[in-house]
Amino acid sequence: MGRMTYIDAARQTLAEEMRRDPTVWAVGEDLGRGGVFTQYKGLVEEFGPDRISDAPISEAAILGAAVGAAMMGTRPVVEMRFSDFALCAVDELVNQAAKARYMFGGQSRVPMVVREPIGMWRSSAAQHSQSLEAWYAHIPGLVVVTPATPADLRVLLAGAIRCDDPVVFMEHKDLWALEGEVPDGPVDGDPIVELGRARVAREGRDITIVSWSAAVHGAMAAAETLGTEGISAEVIDLRTIWPWDREAVLASVRRTGRLLVVHEAVAAGGFGAEIAATVAETLHGDLRAPVRRLGAPRIPISYAPPLEDRVRVTPEAIVAAARSMVGQPEAADG
């Protein structure tokens, strides 16, 4: 094991997959100079401009060309810079890439990764700060990935590149500098199997907290605080939004009897509602408290830091919600 940042894990994994498979290539704006977050730094020197391809400022043209290239046998990695900008190409992704395999009866596939940096990044304002994972989870034919750690980014990006379906790969901008333990060497085995497999980030017995992407770290901080109060919280990092690990979540809630879903995205229509509904419908007789969700209010994200902070789901808010659900913790021998 070695330590690596989130952004270095992304860069190294893409390079390894390009070395492994000559049909893998990347396209987007400013890739030749390393990308807006330096996630492509140094790759054009190794692979050349044909495989690290700079594109004009037209998201629709970038993604439309990549869809065609994927259908013709290559594996494009499409850089959208910000998830907000990808909305300019939503027709190519939702009406073309997501539906091609079905509409052609399996005769054509679109093995493509669309990288969409998501989430709040200090003072990026309303057009550069959104978390839109629920939009894509709603679309049949798309895989949606939201890694929270460098290790998960590494294995999930490899799995996404090797997947034969279009993958919306959502990296949180506020995690680029995050360091973590990452296994040495190339990704072994079949990382595609990790798409749809959750991770138990912390074991617990009193309440299950389900989260993904950057919100996992807030959930972990809250679980530490709750532990000092005698409340044992289990934290599940979903890792992929679609497919999502339904069985892992249900198994956890069967043990704890309580579910709190936490995400940075707007709560109204957020993917947390799908998890909450599934658990409520499946385990309604086993729950010890009503299912709860924590998400952002339905307002644009401000440029001003004090207003931006008002829409954040903080560890303190998670602690308060979990505390109200659990009440007084049971005695250790109870």
Task: Give the DSSP H/E element, type plus range, for residue 103.
Answer: helix 100-103
DSSP lists the bridge partners of residue 180 as 4
Residue carrying structure tokens 């994200």: 301
Residue bearing tokens 């980030």 = 201
CA separation, residue 110 to residues 28, 207, 264, 274 (Å): 18, 40, 29, 27
As to burial, measured by CB atoms within 10 angstroms (0-12 exposed, 13-18 middle, 19+ buried), residue 149 is buried
CA distance 290 to 309: 27
CA distances from 159 to 90, 169, 171, 230, 257 (A): 23, 11, 15, 39, 33
Q: Is 138 a known active-site residue?
A: no
- Dihedral in degrees, nearest 10, Cα atoms 14, 162, 136, 43: 20
- Among the listed residues 128, 172, 217, 263, the single catalytic one is 128
The closest alpha carbon to 83, from 121, 122, 39, 133, belongs to: 133
User: Exposed (0-12), middle (13-18) or buried (19+): which is 80, by Cβ within 10 Å?
Assistant: buried
Q: What is the dihedral of CA 235, 266, 132, 5, to 10 degrees?
A: -40
Instruction: Please list the active-site residues.
Output: 128
